[in-house]
Amino acid sequence: MRLRVATYNIHKGVTGIRGRPRIHDVRLALDAIDADIVFLQEVQDRNERLASQPGYPISGTQLDFLATGAYAHRAYGMNAVYPHGHHGNAILSRHRIVDFSNHDISDHLLEKRGLLHAVTRFGRGKSRDVHLICVHLGLIKRSRLRQAIFLADFVQREVPARSPLIIAGDFNDWQQRVDGLLRDRLGVDEVAVAATSATPDRGVLDWLLPWRTVSDTQAGVARTFPSFAPWLTLDRIYVRGFRVLDMHVPKGLAWARCSDHAPLIAELEL
């Protein structure tokens, strides 16, 4: 079974400096990515200050707006709460989500961080459960390492060893300290590295050829930040129980208008 997954930090659906809504651009980006499962970070599901501004969804929450018409199943983990709203991580899925839970992994009061764990079920009859984990780790190195240890402990405790697993999100791990820890503890593959030895199926990927980043793939990295000139590898997808067919990072001005991060997209086979 083939699966397209993506991870995307949408920066609360607003521009960085003036905070103007650009959630419509984000929705168009998700339509273009056309993933089966999307891991989102910084989803500002309620913002009363923006609700009356032009360009903001007229009704419903930010997550409702992004999922409508494309994703029947969703999970949301509220991490940061403030007087005018809240934000956190989310998972959008075309396959049924049978269970989900959110876990506070904040290391200090200034950065509220969470781990969103969901289980999605594939097929009928002989169905297969796949565990999904969406994370957004801290900006401070010590915080990231402690949060990564929590993540590894959580997976070893809560996810059966033989169950397919996808861990995705914004790891803020430009020094690649968390990367080694997760590989050693969990035996996962990072899609950018795994894609270096994969043979892409041209029939699957032809429509994405204008976006492909061959130099990044050959180097085993996926540069996603900042979106106007990606240089840092902040966003990652780790898998277990999947074969990585390919990975790609869309680039260009149109994507830079959507968020300060570019999305990371992976083609997987269960």
Going from N- to C-terminal start, the domains of the chain cover 2-269
Q: pLDDT tens across 138-158, in order? A: 999 999 999 999 999 999 999
pLDDT of residue 130: 97
Residue 266's beta-bridge partner residues?
5, 247
More confident residue, 68 or 134: 134
Q: pLDDT tens across 31-80, in order? A: 999 999 999 999 987 666 666 666 566 556 888 889 988 999 999 998 87
More confident residue, 27 or 50: 27
Q: How remote is the C-alpha of 135 from its chain's centroid?
A: 8
More confident residue, 124 or 236: 236
What's the order of all strands across the beta sheet hosting 85-93?
Answer: 73-82, 85-93, 37-47, 2-9, 264-269, 243-248
- CA 65 → CA 13, 56, 70, 77, distances in Å? 11, 10, 10, 17
Residue 194 has pLDDT above 50, yes or no: yes
| Residue range 2-269 in CATH 3.60.10.10 | yes
C-alpha distance across the termini of the chain, in Å:
5
Alpha-carbon gap, residue 259 to 187, rounded angstroms: 31
Q: pLDDT tens across 102-117, in order? A: 999 998 878 889 999 9
Mean pLDDT, the chain, as a whole number?
A: 86
CB atoms inside a 10 Å sphere around CB 162: 8
Q: What is the pTM of this model?
A: 0.88
Per-residue 3-state assignment (H helix, E strand, C coil) for 43-60? EEEEECCCCCCCCCCCCC
Burial class (CB in 10 A: 0-12, 13-18, 19+), 120: buried
Q: How is residue 201 annotated by DSSP? A: -
pLDDT of residue 51: 63
Q: pLDDT tens across 162-171, in order? A: 999 999 999 9
The enclosing H or E element of 184 equals helix 177-186
